[in-house]
Amino acid sequence: MPSYAKTTGSKGIHVYVPIVRGPVQKDVWTFAKALAQELTGRHPKLMTSADKVTSRPKGRVLVDYNQNAWGRTLASVDSVRPHPRACVSTPITWKEVDQGVQIEDFRLDNVRVRFKKTGHLFKPLLKKTGRVDLRRFL
């Protein structure tokens, strides 16, 4: 399943999966919940999908499927976030994630230069091909 990462500009990383257009929001949320539960079931010492903060084990990555719930907001691509270092919510590569990228690595003072080097990392999300058909999973 193709996936693309973007920093939130705060504490996390959003993962985008290009889907075939058509499913309603509730179907996307249902799929995201099932995927989160499958991932956390396979990797319980690494991940959690617990909604309540008090139910989350310490030191786990939160797979927050509720970001797909109705009315949720997220930082737009390449937007400056309210952070003392003017961090930017920006697309990143999975290699950067593997290397331990930090949110503070992407700031207003350096993200333009990075963009010139990397190009538009979310460009594949604009293609009509290579999308996941969620009907296969619903």
| Range 107-117 average pLDDT | 95
pLDDT given for residue 53 in this prediction: 85
Distance (Å, rounded) from C-alpha 100 to C-alpha 82?
A: 22
| Range 106-123 average pLDDT | 95
> What domain range is 101 assigned to?
4-136
| Range 49-56 average pLDDT | 88
Give the pTM.
Answer: 0.88
What's the whole-number average pLDDT of the chain? 93
pLDDT given for residue 55 in this prediction: 87
> In total, how many domains does the chain have?
1
pLDDT given for residue 23 in this prediction: 93
Distance (Å, rounded) from C-alpha 6 to C-alpha 120?
A: 12
| Range 110-124 average pLDDT | 95
Integer angstrom CA distances of residue 25 from 2, 29, 70, 81, 123: 20, 6, 7, 26, 23
Q: What is the CATH number of the domain that holds 82?
A: 3.30.70.3300
| Range 114-132 average pLDDT | 94
| Range 119-126 average pLDDT | 94
